[in-house]
Amino acid sequence: MARSGVTSRRKAEELIKKGLVRVNGTIITEMGVKVNPLEDEIDVAGKKILPEEKKVYVLLNKPLGVVTTMNDPQGRKIVTDLLKDIKERIYPIGRLDYNTEGLLLLTNDGELAYHLTHPRFEINKTYFAKVNGYVTELALKELRQGVMLADGLTKLAFVKLLKRTAKESSLEITIQEGRNRQVRRMCEKVGHAVSYLKRIRLGFLELEDLQVGQYRCLKDFEVKKLKIDCKLTK
């Protein structure tokens, strides 16, 4: 399912466990069942799926006020609404919340998406953050060494202080995890609410001159390097 572009590998496993996947009319609840997509009929939640012939990799400079889901019950704009000339069904790799802008990858390559989001493969995600107040050296040390959140201690982070005044500080924060609203929660935990957040780098990829709301397809050498970094190829 991941390779067909339906969803990520992790999400596919959840769908299987919930009994929403059928192969030739039989519900599959165990992982690792081998199928031939050219011969077997596979459907997810009643919808037949087919393998994608063409893999697409898109780098988007996500604007504020856009959600990174495939649909939104509240009727807000979703990231795929911005991709006017992309015919293939692609989905976001990870998420940027409604009030965060910046670099977002979208693809129908489920295997690559899984490897880019799994912390085991240590892909750096770098953010520019403006936070309220004067960030002390102690707060910086906490952010770097790990912050205890409701879902556990964060891993080591690279945090660079760019500017600080009594009212506001600017930071560059690099993490390898992808927890929900992680950077915002880390900063709030050390006493500094985030007023502005933008992802500026994912692995070696940067926004460069891509304007807010604009996107481009990755070049072949970029896709190859991503796969090497994710240990999918040599």
Has residue 161 got a pLDDT over 90?
A: yes
Give the pLDDT confidence of 74-87 residue by residue, as tens digits: 889 999 999 988 98
Among 12-21, 72-81, 94-103, 161-170, the minimum mean pLDDT is found in 12-21
Name the fold adopted by 9-48: 3.10.290
Structure tokens at 49: 């799926």
- What is the pTM (predicted TM-score) of this model? 0.77
- List the CATH code of the domain at 124-202: 3.30.70.1560
Give the pLDDT confidence of 122-151 residue by residue, as tens digits: 899 999 999 999 999 999 999 999 999 999
Average pLDDT over residues 11-33: 81
How wide is the angle at C-alpha 148 spanned by C-alphas 142 and 150, nearest 5°? 150
Structure tokens at 46: 């009643």
Long-range Cβ contacts of 9-18 (<8 Å, 24+ apart) = 9/110, 9/111, 9/113, 9/114, 10/114, 10/117, 10/118, 12/110, 15/44, 15/45
- Fold match flag (57-119+204-229 vs 124-202): yes
Choosing from 40, 43, 72, 97, the catalytic residue is: 97
Indicate the class that CATH gives domain 57-119+204-229.
alpha beta
Has residue 201 got a pLDDT over 90?
A: yes
**In which band, very low, low, confident or very high, does the pLDDT at 3 lie, cut at 50, 70 and 90?**
low
The reported pLDDT for the residue numbered 123 is 92
* Domain extents in the chain: 9-48, 57-119+204-229, 124-202
Question: Is-catalytic flag, 97?
Answer: yes
